[in-house]
Amino acid sequence: MKLSYCKKIIAMGVSVITAVSVLSVNVIASPVFNDVPPTHWAHQFISQVTDQGLMIGDAFGRFRPDEVLNKFETAKILARSAGFKYENVSAAEQEFYDAAYEKHKTFMNQSNFARWDASANREIAFLLEKNILTIADLTQFVSGGAGNTEELRPLTRSQATVYITKLLERQSQAQAHLTTNFFRDDAQISAPHKPFVYYLRSLNIVTGDTNNNFNPTGAVTRAAMATMLARALDFMPNSQPNPGVSNITNISGTIDAAFANINAIQILKASGERRIYRVTPRTVINVDGVPGAFAGLVTGMTVSAVANNDELIDIRAHRGGGGAPNTFLAEVDGIVSSIGQEGGTRTVSIEVKTVNPRDNTIVTDVRTYTLASGARITRSDEVIQFADIVRGDIVTARVSGGTAHELALEERLLILRDARLLEKRFNEQTGQGSYLVIDNRGRQHTLRVSATTNISRRGTGVTAWDRLRVGDVLELTAEYGLLRDISAYGVLSTADGWIDAIHIGRFQSYIMLRNASGEVNRHFIIPESTDVYSLRVGNRMRVRLDSDEIATVLLLEEASSVVVTGYVDSVRTSSVTLTNTQPHGTNGRRIVEVDSTTVITNTRTGDHVNFNAIRTDQRLYVVFHSSNADLARTITILMD
Half-sphere exposure of 231 (CA within 13 A, CB side): 17
Res 29 pLDDT > 80: no
pLDDT at 6 over 60: no
User: Phi and psi at residue 617, in whole multiples of 5°?
Assistant: 75, -5
Average pLDDT, the chain: 80
* pLDDT the model gives residue 173: 87
CA-to-CA distance for 58 and 306, rounded, in angstroms?
Answer: 7
Please give the Cα distance from 75 to 318 (Å, whole number).
33
User: Which residues make Cβ contacts (< 8 Å) with residue 547, sequence separation at least 6?
Assistant: 421, 469, 470, 471, 472, 490, 491
Q: What pLDDT, on a 0 to 100 scale, did the predictor assign at position 158?
A: 92
Per-residue confidence (pLDDT) for residue 545, from 0 to 100: 92
Rg (CA), the chain: 27
Under DSSP, is residue 131 helix (H, G, I), strand (E, B) or coil? coil
Strands 284-287 and 311-318: what pairing?
A: parallel
**Farthest-apart Cα atoms in the chain, separation:** 85
Is pLDDT larger for residue 24 or for residue 580?
A: 580
Give the residue, 228 or 252, on which the prediction is more confident.
Answer: 228
Can you tell me the distance from the alpha carbon of 212 to that of 217, in angstroms, rounded to the nearest whole number? Answer: 15
Per-residue pLDDT at 362: 66
**Residue 307 or 171, more confident:** 171
Per residue in 470-494, pLDDT (tens digit) is 999 999 998 767 899 999 999 999 9
Residues 326-338: tens digit of each pLDDT: 344 567 778 888 9
Look up residue 11 and give its amino acid.
Answer: A
Residues 45-75 as b or e (16 or more Cβ within 10 Å = b): bbbbbbbbbbbbbbbbbbbbbbbbbbbbbbb
Contacts of 373 (CB under 8 A, 6+ apart): none
Say whether pLDDT at 592 is over 80.
yes
For residues 638 and 549, the model is more confident at: 549
Rounded CA separation 629/199 (Å): 68
CA–CA distance, 278 with 270 (Å, rounded to integer): 20
Terminal Cα-to-Cα distance of the chain (whole angstroms)? 37
pLDDT bucket at 177, cuts 50 / 70 / 90: confident
**pLDDT for 163:** 95
Residue 617's Cα: distance from chain center in Å? 30
Amino acid symbol at 77: I
pLDDT at 343: 84
H-type helices in 82-156, by residue range? 91-109, 121-129, 135-138
Residue-wise pLDDT tens digits, 214-227: 999 999 999 999 99
All domains of the chain in start order, with CATH: 5-155+219-235 (no CATH), 248-318 (2.40.50.320), 330-409 (2.40.50), 413-489 (2.40.50), 492-557 (2.40.50.140), 563-639 (2.40.50.320)
